[in-house]
Amino acid sequence: MALIFPRWTNWIPLLLAAAGAAGAIVVPTAVWYYFSPEYTDVGYTPVQPIAYSHRLHAGELGIDCRYCHDTADRAAKASIPPTDTCMNCHRTIQSKSEKLALVRESDATGKAIPWVRVHMLPDYAYFDHSAHLAAGVGCVTCHGRIDEMEVVRQEKPLSMSWCLDCHRNPAPNLRPPPMVTAMAWNAMDAGYDPHKDPARRRFPTPPTYCSGCHR
Ligand code: HEC
Ligand code: HEC
Ligand code: HEC
Ligand code: HEC
Ligand code: HEC
């Protein structure tokens, strides 16, 4: 006779009893922890269709982040560069390289390179790059040392509590807005105090009310 319930379900009454005995705290805590983005997303490093290296381009060659992510400081999305941006250089640099075959194919056919998304908030959460960059939050604060990554990985949880930790006390994470893409910059070495920056016309007040991020 076919089993209607898999054999492991025999353990459920025992598990429930154990959970009851251990207090109602353990199970919700475990569920909350294992399903929170801190557990599921940090370290996510998908394989990309091309061996494009930030360590080489943004690190060694020192190309500014906004050369490629050129909408970051004026729009919500930071944008992934079109093939044309790569071809600006690779029409002449390494123009025969095997590693760039897919870039040339994309240029010839007009079909976009299928880059795999790394960071992704759920639709019900609203995020805007330009507001953060204008206030002087650096890329490195939310994305880590991208200029040292061969392949991009997610460094921060992007969870609600992570957003709120900064929104409640943004001061330690602020820098002069012109320094937002400077990966090695830090406030302590620079002796920077955002409260005393004469270039700031107002001190940032990030939203902590629900509709600020759930619109
Ligand atoms: C020469 C172009 C170029 C430059 C310069 C560049 N990037 Fe990128 N970036 C890309 C491409 C292409 C991708 C998509 C493929 C990938 O994830 O590696 C990408 C992906 C990313 C992602 C992941 C996006 C996602 O899918 O979630 C982040 C974050 C990022 N870049 C940040 C930066 C930062 C910060 C800098 C400056 C230190 C920078 N990039 C400089 C081309 C560039
Ligand atoms: C305050 C935190 C924060 C800062 C500062 C920040 N990012 Fe992001 N970035 C995010 C989040 C969160 C996402 C995911 C957004 C989503 O899914 O809607 C993201 C996504 C991206 C993506 C994927 C495309 C997109 O817009 O969804 C790229 C590329 C990127 N960031 C590059 C950058 C660069 C370059 C800088 C600096 C110029 C930067 N980011 C600064 C938090 C930040
Ligand atoms: C500002 C110029 C510039 C831009 C823009 C640029 N690259 Fe590069 N890229 C270089 C240089 C310089 C090298 C190193 C060439 C060498 O080692 O001889 C390189 C090397 C590479 C390599 C390694 C090639 C090999 O055979 O070793 C890949 C892959 C690559 N780039 C992909 C990309 C992609 C994808 C883009 C667009 C997102 C891009 N590059 C945009 C300048 C650029
Ligand atoms: C490291 C600090 C930091 C982190 C992390 C951070 N923010 Fe912010 N956020 C700010 C600052 C600073 C501002 C600008 C407030 C101002 O200009 O008054 C801001 C502004 C905003 C705004 C208002 C934008 C507007 O157009 O009104 C939204 C929405 C927002 N953040 C969402 C998020 C979300 C969602 C996350 C997490 C995924 C996040 N933030 C993570 C510091 C941060
Ligand atoms: C600073 C931005 C921000 C504010 C303010 C904010 N949230 Fe969120 N919230 C987020 C983000 C980002 C996520 C998605 C996190 C993830 O990927 O799971 C989220 C997720 C959620 C979820 C989905 C369940 C979960 O925990 O993942 C609920 C419910 C929620 N928020 C309710 C609220 C309520 C209620 C408030 C007001 C008290 C609030 N949020 C304020 C950014 C914010």
**pLDDT tens for residues 142-159?**
999 999 999 999 999 999
Classify residue 197: in a domain, yes or no.
yes
Kindly identify the ligand whose nearest atom is closest to the C-alpha of 194.
4
Whole-model pTM: value is: 0.91
- Check residue 20 and give its pLDDT: 47
Classify residue 22: in a domain, yes or no.
no
Q: How far, in Å, from the CA of 11 to the mean position of ligand 1?
A: 47
Q: What is the DSSP string of 11-27?
A: GHHHHHHHHHHH-TTHH
Kindly identify the ligand whose nearest atom is closest to the C-alpha of 209.
5
Domain count, the chain: 1
Whether 85 lines ligand 3, by a CB cut-off of 6 Å, is: yes
Q: Which atom of ligand 4 is nearest to the CA of 213?
A: 29
Token pair recorded at residue 9: 């379900």
Residue listed under structure tokens 């002069």: 176
Q: pLDDT tier at 96 (50, 70, 90 boundaries)?
A: very high
Classify residue 45: in a domain, yes or no.
no
Q: How far, in Å, from the CA of 192 to the mean position of ligand 2?
A: 24
Full domain range(s) for residue 122:
73-78+117-213
Classify residue 138: in a domain, yes or no.
yes
Q: How far, in Å, from the CA of 206 to the mean position of ligand 4?
A: 5
- 197 Cβ contact partners less than 8 Å away, ≥ 6 residues apart: 176
Classify residue 147: in a domain, yes or no.
yes
Closest-CA residue to 151 (of 47, 41, 42, 40): 47
Ligand 1 is surrounded, with C-beta below 6 A, by 48, 52, 54, 57-58, 63, 65, 67-69, 80-81, 115, 117-119, 139, 143, 146-147, 152, 181, 183
Residue 151 to residue 118: CA distance in whole angstroms: 10
C-alpha torsion sign, points 156, 161, 163, 167: negative
Classify residue 93: in a domain, yes or no.
no
Closest-CA residue to 16 (of 5, 27, 1): 27
Specify whether the CB–CB gap between 127 and 76 falls below 8 A.
Answer: yes
Q: How far, in Å, from the CA of 13 to the mean position of ligand 3?
A: 59
Q: How far, in Å, from the CA of 169 to the mean position of ligand 4?
A: 11
Q: Which atom of ligand 3 is nearest to the CA of 97?
A: 26
14-61: pLDDT as tens digits? 444 455 455 555 444 555 554 555 555 899 999 999 999 999 999 999
Token pair recorded at residue 162: 């992570």
